[in-house]
Structure 1
Amino acid sequence: MKPLTKNMWRAIKNSLGRFIAIVLIIMLGVLIFVGVKASGPSLNDSLSKTLLNTKLSDIQVLSTTGFDKKDIKIAEKLSDAKAEAVKFKYVLAGKDKSAVALFGYQSQQKQNKLILRSGRLPKSKNEIVLDNRAKTKYGYKLGQTFTFLKSANLKQRKYKIVGFADSPMYIDNTERGTTDIGDGTVHFFAYIPDNQMNLDSATLLNIRFDSLQKYSSFGNHYKDQINKKIIQLKKLFKTRSKIRSSQILNKTLSVIEGKQKQLNQAKNEVDQAKKQLVEKSGGLVKTTPKLDQQEKRLNVQQKKLSGLLKKANQNFKTVYTWQTREDLPGFSAYGDSSDRISAIANVFPAFFFLIAALITFTTITRMIEEARGQIGIFKALGYSKFSIARNYIGYALMAGMAGTIIGAIIGNNFLPRIVLSLYKNYIPLVAVVKFQWGFFALSILFSLIATTGAAIIVVFNELSEKPAALMQPKSPKSAKKILLEKIKPLWSSLNFKQKISYRNLFRYKSRMFMTIIGIAGGTALILTGFGIQNSIAASGTRQFNELTKYQALIRLKSAKSENRVLGTLQKNKRYKSHVDISSDIGKIQANGKQVS
């Protein structure tokens, strides 16, 4: 080895504690920086992988008249589109009459696959799989009998619970959406065999595009493409809605006409019986109690049939409700959460890295200042400034690179996984933690500035002096009086060690600033953590105590029921007041992009 190289390795060996300290402080700064910055992308990537495995649909379409095979073919006219029709409706079930999102289970289901948590999927007609939330929150167990209300209109009302599962359509375990039955809140979802749903056709059409699965569901490109797909689908289904309405109406009318013929025939038979009765009795007996009762029953049936006919002409209109992944319960909240973590990552690690950089800068500076004698000897022996500087720059470079690599590997691989494990309110995610090369490159740049940058500045500053001056001890700074010394009562009350500490603090200003900034940065980090916690807790309290001043929201099926509902409320002693409001839900688009 060359003498300079030997000297560098000897310096590392002799000051191993200092070298390790530099490595550790850089490692800590990089660990926090890369780890927190990688957490946001890891949350999105993990969800994307989970949704890819379970094949979550990109678009869900609800129809008031259902879907058939022709609707599937129309949807698949779009390039790369795969459509699947499913039976779905909201029903009431259980002793507490909970609102349940009920799906028809198909063994060959290709989209929105269930994530089984315990038990198994249904195999026979009397088996059911419940939302895992029904187990954890509502206490249902395997083997129990689950009963639906009669209004659910199923082939049978009682089913055996054979499994609990999660669904990619409900990624947040704290919410399941709303409905217009029961208390207005969906408590959980359930799956029974498709043939038990007692529906003439599927009511939900799931559409998926394989070409879009490589993009993040929260990215602008994905959202823009989905909006374009919906516009194209709406054009395809524009004429289809009229055709579908006519088909269902004609089918219903043909059934009503058949019943009307049977009713007319029964009426004719009653009239004929009365006529024969009059003829036999010579006009003395025109009817009997039995014929009167039969005629009355036929009139009631006629009234019902006329009502059905009127209702059919008014209500059989196909209306499509279009949904994207953003409309699914908890989906947007997850994306907002990962965005917030990414936003915190832009500020929080910067403080930590700044502190690490300051400490490292000061440590490198002191190390080179202590090696003035060696630098003078090498310069006197004829070594060039660059050769001498390379020795100390290499020392700083190795410490910085070692700390950066170790910190990046640990931070990128472990911190995002810790964050993922804290997301317990969501379905089990497939952990995907990609190495963030961009943030790794930034951390290298910051580390080199803190270590190599400090070495370059200080060593070339030392090399500007002559060898003779370098080989002599550096003259101490002049002992100027500090401000505290001028305040004689205060200064005289201090002991000897305190006086030395204060003099050194003001004499070596770089150390003073490093101490102040270091303590300030550490305090800022602690205060930021408490501030975030308090802000989140306080926002909810302020929202519902100061801004949103109501305890309940009642949805009316029609304006006619308002007086009845208000009468019920006024009987409650805790009732104070109410406000009539009219609300609706819609989507806003600007320049072809969805705004909200």
Structure 2
Amino acid sequence: MVEAKKMSGNIYFKNIRRTIFQSMGRYIAIFAIIALGVGFFAGVKNTKGSMMLTCNEYVNRYNMYDFRIVSTYGFTEEDVSAVSDVEQVSEAEGSVTADFFSEDRIGNSIIIRAHSITDKVNKVDLLKGRMPESDDECVADSHFFRESDIGKTLEVTSENSKQTSDALTYKEYKIVGIVNSPYYMMKTDRGTTSLGDGKIEAYVYMPAKGFTSQYFTELFAVSEKQGFVFSDEYYSNIAKTEDAVINAAESMASKRYQQAVDEAQLEIDEGQQEIDEGRQRLKEEKNSVYGQLNSAKNTLDEQSSQMNSSREQINSQKDSLNSQKQQVVSAIAEVKQQIESLDPQAPAETEETLKTQLLQLEENLSQIEGGLEEVSEGEKKLDLAEGQIKNGYSDYYSNKSKAERSFASAEAELSNGQTEINKAKEDLENFEKPEIFVQDREDNLGFGSFESNADIVDSIAKIFPVFFFLIAALVCSTTMSRMIDEERTQIGALSALGYTPGRIMLKYMIYSGSAAILGCAVGFFAGSKYFPSFIWKAYGMMFGFAPLEFYFNWKLALVSLAVSLLCSTGTTYLACRGQLKHMPAEILRPKAPKAGKRIFLERVRFIWKHMKFLHKVSARNIFRYKKRMIMMILGIGGCTSLVLAGFGINDSVAGIADHQYSEIEKYHMTVAFEQSGEDLKKRFEDEYGKELSNAALLQQTSVNAKGPDANKSCSLMISDDRDILKAVNFTEDGKKISYPGKGEALINNKLAEMLGVKAGDTIELNYDDTKTATLKVAGIYKNYVSNYIYINEETYQQDMGKAYEPSVLFVSFKDGIDIHNISESINEFDGVIGISINEDAKSRVDDMMVSLNYIIILVIGCAGALAFIVLFNLGNINITEREREIATIEVLGFYPRETGSYVFRENFILVLLGIAAGLPSGFALHKFIMSRIVVDAVSFNEVIEPVSFGLTVVVVLGFAFIVDVILRQKLKRINMAEALKSAE
């Protein structure tokens, strides 16, 4: 008995194996459709897991910060230690940053952000070269610099201000390596700066001694407890750590604030004391100097008075002597005359008396002249003394003047010092407390956008797999129903031999279940490996920080297996149950053919009566087997939808560069100048007026725009030049939009969508790290590449408190001008530091969009596989179940070509119906996919060109043709004699 059961079991399983090998086409069809469905489901679903795992491994490997802390005071080692000592913090490290102007490979001015190399947090990923060994070496951004740049130097150009240059220790830095950094996970965004146009092109990392700063400009901290990136556990742990980090940072900031206040007050007190002491010293010195000067002047005055008195005495004496001398001379003359006129006969005594008088007078004259000589000597002495007194007065006035100047200078210095002290006191009263800004990973543009991009892929996984599994269930149901119908006699025989319904049913469930299990296994592993690779390549234009880590979700594998078995064994069970509810005798008899019914077309007499007989048969057969018809239409419709969506993605992506640089940005070139000024345009027009058709002057910088839904980096364009309306086309839905007024901003549609704002709402602009401005959205204009905010000069100066310094021209040239040739001339124009040609930008955008071809290939490839499986399986079933009919018409004399046309005409009609159903759904599917493919810097056109509809039809008909060619070979292999044998 046991031996008989064993033999029976062997025969049973041998029968199953024989069934599989004899109907391998059906088996492979079930295997393939399950593999395709599971592969698509698991692949797209695991893509998010793979992206998340890649991100998690990357940020953990290089210890990306959990918190970035910025203070208006900067940080010291003491601040870093204070944050590091927080219990919930595992690592804390300070970093120095500085932005500076340099030049790219072709000499255009660029802005580079320099970071100090950190050892614990935000470690760099060295790709090529080596790390810096001296303070004047650096490693550079892999997405801007190439391996060939290793060994070259970055120059801190003369365009930098003294403050910028002083922030860096050297004027040149040698590139010794190429790196990635967890701080910059996106390829396209390097942040904003207050320099130049505000756009940072690249970053470098260098030793801390490459900077002159004595303080850290930012502080990074890593939480002790984290968790898988973007998980609830991670956010919960970070939230617990954040308060402690903020408290530590604010505590240190308050301490430093009080310390700074105390130091400032001490300096003020010491300064005031010095000034008070200086005033006292000046007063004493004044008293001393002026006392000495007054004493000297009094002495000179006394001496001068004495000299005047002496002068009067001498003059009086001189006058007296001169008078006496005159009298004596006169007397002498008179006596001499008397002597000469004396009568000779006069007595001798008279002459003698006169001579005695003369002698006496002459002696008196001699005495008088001696007195006059003495007076003359006295005058000389008086003249000398008066000269000395005069010199004394001159020295007095000179010394007094010097003293007055010296005292005035000292008083001015003291007054200036007092003014400075008063200013310092006022500043101290208005001394603001330090502001602490704590950012987490979500505020990092690259990290923050990574999850949303991964969610895009995950959202696609919620729609597509349902469609594939529905087709899989229909394929399995049709395949197994037909197989069970074909083996109806065998089922009846097994039932008559005593096999239970469950035992009989198990055979077919093993058949479909094994195909499903194999398909699920192959599809799961292949899809989990290759689908994420394709999608990661597509996202490579945004994220390229690490190779993809493959993630296998075993729970998802079990779900996939369960769904696969449900699609296969579930439909098998339903098909078998309907067959096994009959008695064995009834099952052993062939099943009556399905009754034909009148179809709607027969009621349209005008058409029906003009149709050929075989065409009428085909029409009846199409509606006779409704299950097969529905499955064919759904399968081909789905294939059509996918193909059209694929071509639509290509249309939406391929055309944006043309639209951007011909319809929106209508200028040909952007010219940046070293110096700003509103005379730039006039000078440029004077030089190139013959070639120009338009030039618009503006200032360009970068800001972070914040709305209800997001915070995004974008370019801020400031202009009052009306020619800006000729350079840029501000329209939405074909309608012109007015340029914004004061306090208003004009933003592009992509930015508005990301921020979650509409016209009339407000947005907040963050600039210069800590400043903000709130503006009203005056309008939203259509734009495809990059994000822009346009404002006028008044808004920039009053609402943002910045000086309007235009240094950029949007330039358009007349037709026939060679843009690249004239750019060489413009590059030599005085003050030009950079030129950007729109045609070159268009080429770069086109190259970037090529990455999305991977998604297009993926979609069209899946569509082709789906179409092939559905067409092949249904065509194979159609031929198998109609072998007697096919053999009959061949016996009746139909040629092979006519037989093929008769058999496949139904397939062709159903393909056309499927295409008709698939085109509208493909249009909707395209819109859905484009709404999920989000690139921050790009707004897609969301258009399907008319030619794509034609290509879709051609592709689907091509798949149908291939299946037709393959299945015609099966028609040739039908044995007419065997097919026409009676089943009874």
**Contact 1:59–1:322 under 8 Å retained in 2:** yes
Distance in 2 between residues matched to 1:244 and 1:273, nearest whole Å: 44
Aligned equivalent of 1:287, options 399, 402, 410? 402
Q: Is 1:519 matched up with 2:644?
A: no
- Point out where structure 2 has 5 or more consecutive residues left out of the alignment: 1-8, 294-391, 665-697, 704-717, 726-738, 745-762, 771-984
Rg larger in structure: 2
Question: RCO higher in 1 or 2 (8 Å CA, sep ≥ 6)?
Answer: 1
Which residue of structure 1 lines up, in the alignment, with residue 182 of structure 2? 168
**Contact 2:47–2:531 under 8 Å retained in 1:** yes
Which residue of structure 2 lines up, in the alignment, with residue 574 of structure 1? 724
Instruction: Name the CA shift for 1:238/1:127 in 2 (closer, same or farther; >3 Å).
Output: closer
Deviation at 1:120, TM superposition (A): 2.1
**What amino acid does structure 2 have at the position aligned with 1:340?**
I
- Helix, strand or coil for the counterpart of 2:225? helix
Q: Is 1:101 matched up with 2:101?
A: no
Instruction: Name the CA shift for 1:151/1:506 in 2 (closer, same or farther; >3 Å).
Output: same
- What aligned pairs does 1:105-504 form with structure 2 within 5 A after superposition? 105-106=117-118, 109-135=119-145, 142-147=151-156, 149=160, 150-152=162-164, 153=166, 154-212=168-226, 214-216=227-229, 218-251=230-263, 281-285=395-399, 286-287=401-402, 302=417, 309=424, 313=428, 314-315=430-431, 317-424=433-540, 425-504=542-621
**Contact 1:145–1:159 under 8 Å retained in 2:** yes
Distance in 2 between residues matched to 1:102 and 1:317, nearest whole Å: 28
**Contact 2:83–2:92 under 8 Å retained in 1:** no
Instruction: Name the CA shift for 1:569/1:10 in 2 (closer, same or farther; >3 Å).
Output: closer
For 1:489-537, what per-residue CA distance to the aligned partner results, in whole angstroms no more than 9, with x for missing partners? 3223323432222111111221112112222333343455567777899
**What amino acid does structure 2 have at the position aligned with 1:44?**
M
Instruction: Name the CA shift for 1:215/1:207 in 2 (closer, same or farther; >3 Å).
Output: same
For 1:197-250, what per-residue CA distance to the aligned partner results, in whole angstroms no more than 9, with x for missing partners? 2122222111102420x322x233322332332223333344432211132344
Instruction: Name the CA shift for 1:311/1:22 in 2 (closer, same or farther; >3 Å).
Output: farther
For 1:11-65, what per-residue CA distance to the aligned partner results, in whole angstroms no more than 9, with x for missing partners? 1111122212211111111111111111112111111110010100100111222
Distance in 2 between residues matched to 1:159 and 1:263, nearest whole Å: 47
Aligned equivalent of 1:7, options 4, 15, 19? 15
**Contact 2:469–2:567 under 8 Å retained in 1:** no
Which residue of structure 2 lines up, in the alignment, with residue 70 of structure 1? 78
Deviation at 1:146, TM superposition (A): 2.4
Which residue of structure 1 lines up, in the alignment, with residue 90 of structure 2? 82
For 1:91-143, what per-residue CA distance to the aligned partner results, in whole angstroms no more than 9, with x for missing partners? 2321566443332225xx11101112332221112112222243269x96642
**Contact 1:359–1:514 under 8 Å retained in 2:** yes
Distance in 1 between residues matched to 2:268 and 2:111, nearest whole Å: 32
Distance in 2 between residues matched to 1:350 and 1:126, nearest whole Å: 59
Distance in 2 between residues matched to 1:526 and 1:69, nearest whole Å: 60
Which residue of structure 1 lines up, in the alignment, with residue 44 of structure 2? 36
Which residue of structure 2 lines up, in the alignment, with residue 583 of structure 1? 764
Distance in 1 between residues matched to 2:426 and 2:654, nearest whole Å: 51
Distance in 1 between residues matched to 2:124 and 2:425, nearest whole Å: 42
**Contact 2:476–2:512 under 8 Å retained in 1:** no
Distance in 1 between residues matched to 2:224 and 2:553, nearest whole Å: 26
Distance in 2 between residues matched to 1:167 and 1:104, nearest whole Å: 12
**What amino acid does structure 1 have at the position aligned with 2:247?**
K
- Helix, strand or coil for the counterpart of 1:234? helix
For 1:240-293, what per-residue CA distance to the aligned partner results, in whole angstroms no more than 9, with x for missing partners? 322111323445666788899999999989x97998799593233423999799
Deviates more, 1:381-390 or 1:359-368: 381-390
Deviates more, 1:340-349 or 1:1-10: 1-10
Deviation at 1:441, TM superposition (A): 1.9
- Helix, strand or coil for the counterpart of 1:178? coil
Distance in 2 between residues matched to 1:127 and 1:297, nearest whole Å: 50
RMSD value, Cα: 3.9
- Point out where structure 1 has 5 or more consecutive residues left out of the alignment: 546-550, 557-567, 587-596
Aligned equivalent of 2:68, options 53, 60, 75? 60
Distance in 2 between residues matched to 1:201 and 1:192, nearest whole Å: 16
Distance in 1 between residues matched to 2:257 and 2:153, nearest whole Å: 41
Deviates more, 1:144-153 or 1:441-450: 144-153
**Contact 1:99–1:185 under 8 Å retained in 2:** yes
- Helix, strand or coil for the counterpart of 2:135? coil
Distance in 2 between residues matched to 1:112 and 1:321, nearest whole Å: 19
- Helix, strand or coil for the counterpart of 1:174? coil
Which residue of structure 1 lines up, in the alignment, with residue 920 of structure 2? none
**Contact 2:45–2:461 under 8 Å retained in 1:** yes
Instruction: Name the CA shift for 1:206/1:528 in 2 (closer, same or farther; >3 Å).
Output: same
**Contact 1:146–1:161 under 8 Å retained in 2:** no
Distance in 2 between residues matched to 1:136 and 1:174, nearest whole Å: 16
**What amino acid does structure 2 have at the position aligned with 1:319?**
E
Distance in 1 between residues matched to 2:468 and 2:135, nearest whole Å: 60
For 1:275-313, what per-residue CA distance to the aligned partner results, in whole angstroms no more than 9, with x for missing partners? 879959323342399979987996898599559836863
The normalised TM-score by structure 1 is 0.83
**What amino acid does structure 2 have at the position aligned with 1:180?**
S
Deviates more, 1:375-384 or 1:484-493: 484-493
Distance in 1 between residues matched to 2:271 and 2:112, nearest whole Å: 34
Deviates more, 1:352-361 or 1:332-341: 352-361
Deviates more, 1:29-38 or 1:12-21: 12-21
- Helix, strand or coil for the counterpart of 1:206? strand
Distance in 2 between residues matched to 1:114 and 1:365, nearest whole Å: 61
**Contact 2:113–2:200 under 8 Å retained in 1:** yes
Distance in 1 between residues matched to 2:264 and 2:143, nearest whole Å: 39
Deviation at 1:323, TM superposition (A): 0.5
Instruction: Name the CA shift for 1:136/1:445 in 2 (closer, same or farther; >3 Å).
Output: same
**Contact 1:260–1:305 under 8 Å retained in 2:** no
Instruction: Name the CA shift for 1:144/1:199 in 2 (closer, same or farther; >3 Å).
Output: closer
Deviates more, 1:115-124 or 1:492-501: 492-501
Count matched residues. Answer: 564
Deviation at 1:159, TM superposition (A): 1.7
**Contact 2:489–2:588 under 8 Å retained in 1:** yes
Distance in 1 between residues matched to 2:65 and 2:232, nearest whole Å: 18
**Contact 2:275–2:414 under 8 Å retained in 1:** no
**What amino acid does structure 2 have at the position aligned with 1:240?**
M
**Contact 2:66–2:222 under 8 Å retained in 1:** yes
Which residue of structure 2 lines up, in the alignment, with residue 18 of structure 1? 26
For 1:444-478, what per-residue CA distance to the aligned partner results, in whole angstroms no more than 9, with x for missing partners? 22211221112211122212223233222211122
**Contact 1:373–1:470 under 8 Å retained in 2:** yes
Instruction: Name the CA shift for 1:192/1:495 in 2 (closer, same or farther; >3 Å).
Output: same
Deviation at 1:429, TM superposition (A): 2.0
